[in-house]
Structure 1
Amino acid sequence: MTENLIVFAHGKESGPWGTKITQLAKTAERRGFDVISPDYSHSQEPQDRIDQLLTLAPRAQRLVLAGSSMGGYVSAMACAALQPQALFLMAPAIHFPFPGWDGEPLGIPKRCTVVHGWHDDIVPLAQAQRFAREHNAALHILDSGHTLNDRLPMLDLLLDQLLADVLQS
């Protein structure tokens, strides 16, 4: 079992090594974390992606799950089974009233950071606010849209702080 591991879950339309994940993986590696970013592009169904992550069954002394958009939903829904020490969500597609997207995440760790854009036209900000409120998560709202790609330095800082907190535990 590895000591420190972060597992990224990409969004519905992106891939495992898109702009955000590539940048944030460098931040994680600087903190001493191994990085996994599975390719979920074979399916547009959330449950298929959750099942893939659960089958991967990542284990570490310090496990962190991270996800963007649909990947945020996947990461959050996997928390009960994988029991990560922390969760980092970017514009998470949580609390949609659609079949397959309407699951209620359980087992959310105490260390949970949610980042969302004021101008997100895909996932309403209210959904991130609801999740953060229900799970006592830190919520950071940025002057950005859904991808948050224009705020990479801030995402780096927020992930770096979360990982530093995990390492101190």
Structure 2
Amino acid sequence: MSKLVIYNHGKDSIPWGEKPLALAEVAKGQGFTFISPDYQASNDPDWRVQQLLALDVSGYETIVLVGSSMGAYVSTVAAEIIKPKGLFLIAPAFYLPGYARTEFKTSTANIEVFHGWQDDVVPPENAWRFCREHHARLHILDADHRLLSILPIMATAFERFLGDCTA
């Protein structure tokens, strides 16, 4: 069974920073192919959605979308078409000015969200609102927007999450 994780980085981030490197290790350990497209050419979230939708994912039976900040928005909007087995969202940039979508039609019940209490980019209330609307699993921990201080906790949860997506 071919399995794919697509990691979508944040607005001012890079495709292969600390988070995607740590999560890629977990995914590869479970037999997933892990890709992290480079969206640095544009900070327009809807342009990034189109770039993600342009990827050929036809050869994969199991697809999991992961996104950090703007990348979480990109993952969630694209999920309506890609229909992944799971959405793993890190400090999702939901309900912010400049983002076209405020309503999301998720195609999976397997959604997990990590957010930081100290996030000064996206208020934790935004993650709570999304999770309440979509019955998603929510972890709010003592961390800032980047969530690097809780990366080991997140990686452990991601390992369990991928297991749930392939069960």
Same fold (TM over 0.5): yes
What is the alpha-carbon root mean square deviation over aligned residues?
A: 1.2
Instruction: Write out aligned runs for 1:1-169 (5 A).
Output: 3-59=2-58, 60-96=60-96, 98-168=97-167
CA deviations 1:68-122 (Å, max 9, x no partner) are: 00000000010110000000000000122x2434342213411100000010000
Q: Which amino acid aligns with 2:27?
A: A
Query: Counterpart of 1:166 in structure 2: which amino acid?
Result: C
SS at match of 1:56: coil
SS in 1 for 2:61: strand
- The C-alpha deviation readout for 1:119-150, integer Å capped at 9, x for no partner, is 00000001000110111100011110100011
Identity of aligned residues (%): 43
- Residue identity in the other structure for 1:125: P
TM-score by length of 2: 0.95
Letter in 2 for 1:109: T
Distance 1:89 1:100 in 2: 17
- Corresponding pairs, count: 166
1:167: Cα distance to partner?
Answer: 1.7
C-alpha distance in structure 1 between counterparts of 2:79 and 2:56, whole Å: 11
Q: Is the 8 A contact 1:77 1:104 kept in 2?
A: no
Unaligned regions of 5+ residues in structure 2, if any? none
- SS for the counterpart of 2:160 is helix
